[in-house]
Amino acid sequence: MIYETITYTLDNDIATVTLNRPEVMNALNTQMRAEITDAVARAGREARVVVLTGVGKAFCSGQDLGDGASAAKLDLERVLRDEYVPMLKAMYDCPVPIIAAVNGAAAGAGANLALAADVVIATQSAFFMQAFTKIGLIPDAGGTWFLPRQIGLAKAMGAALFAEKITADDASAMGLIWEAVPDTAFEAHVARRADYLAKGPTAAYARVKQAMMASFDNDLEAQLTLEAQLQGQCGKTRDFKEGVVAFMQKRPAEFEGR
């Protein structure tokens, strides 16, 4: 696929997917959703970590209400089912870690696109906003799934009903995101985080994702059984053997993701 609304780079096993519609604050249109879906699937095959970020002052302002039909005629159910679900599922199924590097405003579906990542790192000047009720909608793009799981029902309901801005620092404090960092240190900090994961045991990371996601549907016994199965698989990897040897030799491990 030729990308026109995003850019894709691969460097040192790090795939960077950059939303590139700054004139509309990186609002999501049909083409961008298809390109993100393709790029994330591609990164899962050829990278060891994915960084998802935006160009300009915003990470993503959400659904582009000027895309195609007028807002009054927009078939939101079809758009969510046929365009958002594949994009979010590609992120959910991606076998390597995804870092959302939130460089600015993340509103509506843009906020929930960020929350679909495995780790969210934001600039302190960024904010998150479940803006949906301001136009008579409910949180979508996974918002009703992500929010109560990440910050609990009480905070999730407040975020959805009041549709207020949540600063990056507040988002970090309430557990909505991993961390907020000073704007001046943001790019270098994200690069260090991505490099750390790219050099890590990515076969284990894939199973971390699998186990964490399954825990919401499993009871304790089922989750312990899954843990045992996945740990057994990790124990047969080259990375586990290397990790143990490196620990005994008191040196950094050289993981290969296998």
The 10s digit of each residue's pLDDT in 8-53 is 999 999 999 999 999 999 999 999 999 999 999 999 999 999 999 9
Q: What is the CATH number of domain 202-249?
A: 1.10.12
In sequence order, what DSSP letters do the residues of 111-141 get, joined into one string? HHHHHTSSEEEEETT-EEE-GGGGGT----T
The 10s digit of each residue's pLDDT in 48-101 is 999 999 999 999 999 998 766 556 677 889 999 999 999 999 999 999 999 999
Contact 87, 41 (CB under 8 A): no
pTM as predicted: 0.94
Pairing mode of beta strands 58-60, 105-107? parallel
Domain spans of the chain, in order of start: 6-198, 202-249
Q: Which residues are within 8 A (CB) of 236 and not within 5 positions of it... i.e. 6 or more apart?
A: none
CA dihedral (109, 26, 151, 97) positive or negative: positive
SS3 70: coil
Q: Of 8, 117, 28, 7, give the one whose Cα is nearest residue 74.
A: 28
The 10s digit of each residue's pLDDT in 106-155 is 999 999 999 999 999 999 999 999 999 999 999 999 999 999 999 999 99
Superfamily of domain 6-198: 2-enoyl-CoA Hydratase; Chain A, domain 1 (3.90.226.10)
Question: How much is the pLDDT for 82?
Answer: 96
> What burial letters (b/e) apply to 88-106, b meaning 16+ CB within 10 Å?
bebbeebbbbbbbbbbbbb
